[in-house]
Chains A and B, each alone.
Chain A
Amino acid sequence: MTPEPLTTPKAPLGAAANPTRLAVEKLCLSFGGLKAVQDFSLQLPKLCLYGLIGPNGAGKTTVFNLLTGVYQPDNGQMQIDANQLRGLQPHQITAAGIARTFQNIRLFSDLSVLDNVRLAGQLHCKNGLPTTLLRTRRFRAREAAIRERAYELLDIFEMQPLATARAGGLSYGHQRRLEIIRALATDPKVLLLDEPAAGMNPKEKLDLAKSIRAIRDRFGIAILMIDHDMGLVMDICEQITVLDHGVTIAHGPPTHIQNDAKVIAAYLGGGPVA
């Protein structure tokens, strides 16, 4: 799964060369009386690999759902390259450059691997109804381009031999990988990975860690990942945000997070240490 060997473990660019891509300011969301997310703020640079962690029920996936438009925030701002995202529909947000994977795999299981990738890849290359029904030259050229790009992506991740296989019939590891490929096919600027390592063994996690870094550098995108595997997150993320009960309790580089008293309290229980 590693396209090319990578030697840069941390973001290679300085702040000047790596301007903010996604800016999130004080997002809030309540379900009735439950404050699911409170004042969530985050700045993702153009090229980065950030982590979002927290105990179960901390609101991590809810943050993803806010960022991708599944939920509308009660308050706050989200911008990508100075384009306002708040109030947009999920498909518009995807078109604006935020793609995601799902915690519980959500592939189009009766479609082929190729079709899963093509579906995502057609986002920026749409055919209208008249050209589709008449099957014009332009239609054929576009479909060919979508198809070619899908094959390229599958090639990068060594999934090409499986292109005609039914997505639902793939092995678990391949399904996870296909979800990432599919998200990348939308040509994102920001990629949100929701527990990409869930259910993987240590060897697979190691491979995944390598490939996530490789994706960041090869595609030049910002990645924000949720995971419960502290080893993985501490190892590859440059910055980590910790959520507990919807509140951001810590933000900083892994070494800082590991020694943060509030984080330790959130994970291990006990009152907050003063």
Chain B
Amino acid sequence: MTASEDRDLVARAVSGEDTAAFGELVRRHQSHVRNFLRKLAGDHALADDLAQDCFLHAWDKLQSFSGRGSFIGWLLKVAYTTFLQSKRKSKRYAEILESAGHVADQESRHQVLPDDEVTDLDKFLAVLTEEERAIMVMSYACGLSHREIGDATDMPVGTVKSVIFRGKEKIRNSFDIKDHQHG
């Protein structure tokens, strides 16, 4: 899976509206995007729906991929934007419900995993803010460089570094991470 192959596929998809080339891009990157969104949303079904929306947005905006950075970096930017838009929409929906007199049960809106399904990673992610979570996942799970994360989140590289530093500190302060094993 090389960057130049991705760029070729993007060029094919854009120039001739080649959906097969786009399908290949989806096949290559769906795992990263879905895992990224699962970690952000904490709900697998919602994350997969968001991943579908993300790829449809990516198809619409494919011409805007300049080829300067990696395609996965660009794709995660689209995924993060899709996630934030969905959060905004659900927040607005909750506000409408509340103003209409419905007392929405917080627990029912956020799928809570049973205790035995809560992993160390879930515990770590829980102490982070949404922004920190997104940046830490991009860095440690997706292997994006600080520059790529900066591009994806519209943040200067310095800010990305400080968010990662802060995230690590929070995890360090909340848990003794040396005692944790993978899982």
Please say whether chains A and B are actual partners in one complex. Answer: no
